């Protein structure tokens, strides 16, 4: 039984399980699925209520904070106990391309040549971690939610704004991965 959770699940098993979270949350109390709103709940709980954006009953949404904590601790457990300690499998063509950018270590899910404390002080690291983090945060607020909220919850509810947001996420992802990221990695 333990072997089942140590190996990655096929898309046709994991995908429907993710999709079933939407009706489960709706049936269990009309709760919307999404992650980005939890940052607002955390800020409302920690900051004084003199900012209008944080003046609401965040305790009604405490379940979302537990959900995010579960994702965090689940990821920690998976990273420490369940992942295969061998090298991450990467397509050989991609390895060749990434080697041109100095990325050769595949022992972690995120290459250590990109994401480490020392690289934060390089132009490439600053753009990827700080600027990229700001753009993700700004984008989720501007789009009224994150990829999981729009692509999973919004599309399930047949929301046109979620369809538009998801199409924009996909176009942005393709542009980033194929045009902008190679330029950043070559810095």
**Pick from 83, 104, 131: which residue ends a domain?**
83
Question: Quick one: pLDDT at residue 170?
Answer: 93
Question: Quick one: pLDDT at residue 74?
Answer: 85
Could you tell me if residue 88 is inside a domain? no
| Residuewise pLDDT in 10s, the chain (187 residues) | 566 666 777 889 888 888 888 888 888 888 877 788 787 888 888 876 677 777 888 888 888 888 889 988 988 887 777 666 667 788 899 999 989 888 888 887 788 888 888 888 999 989 999 999 888 888 887 888 888 888 888 888 889 999 999 999 999 999 999 999 999 988 8
Could you tell me if residue 70 is inside a domain? yes
**Pick from 37, 65, 83: which residue ends a domain?**
83
Domain that residue 65 falls in: 1-83
Are residues 61 and 125 both part of a single domain? no
Domain count of the fold of the chain: 2
Rounded to an integer, what distance in angstroms lies between the CA atom of residue 136 and that of residue 174? 15
Are residues 130 and 72 both part of a single domain? no
Could you tell me if residue 92 is inside a domain? no
* Whether this model's pTM surpasses 0.75: no
> 89 near 12, Cβ under 8 Å?
no
Could you tell me if residue 104 is inside a domain? no
Question: Quick one: pLDDT at residue 1?
Answer: 53
> 65 near 37, Cβ under 8 Å?
no
Are residues 73 and 120 both part of a single domain? no
Rounded to an integer, what distance in angstroms lies between the CA atom of residue 187 and that of residue 183? 7
């Amino acid at each position: 039984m333990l072997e089942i959770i140590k190996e990655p699940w096929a898309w046709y098993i994991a995908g429907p399980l993710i999709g079933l979270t939407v009706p489960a949350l709706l049936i269990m109390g009309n709760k919307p699925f999404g992650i980005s709103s939890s940052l607002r709940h955390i800020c409302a709980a920690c900051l004084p209520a003199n900012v209008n954006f944080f003046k609401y009953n965040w305790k009604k949404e405490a379940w979302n904070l537990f959900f995010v904590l579960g994702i965090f601790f689940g990821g920690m457990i998976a990273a420490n106990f369940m992942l295969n300690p061998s090298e991450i499998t990467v397509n050989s063509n991609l390895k060749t391309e990434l080697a041109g950018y100095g990325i050769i270590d595949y022992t972690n899910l995120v290459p250590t040549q990109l994401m480490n404390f020392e690289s934060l002080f390089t132009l490439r690291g600053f753009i990827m971690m700080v600027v990229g983090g700001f753009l993700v945060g700004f984008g989720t607020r501007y789009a009224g939610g994150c990829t999981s909220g729009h692509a999973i919850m919004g599309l399930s509810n047949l929301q046109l704004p979620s369809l538009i947001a998801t199409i924009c996420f996909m176009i942005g992802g393709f542009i980033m991965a194929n045009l902008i990221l190679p330029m950043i990695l070559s810095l």
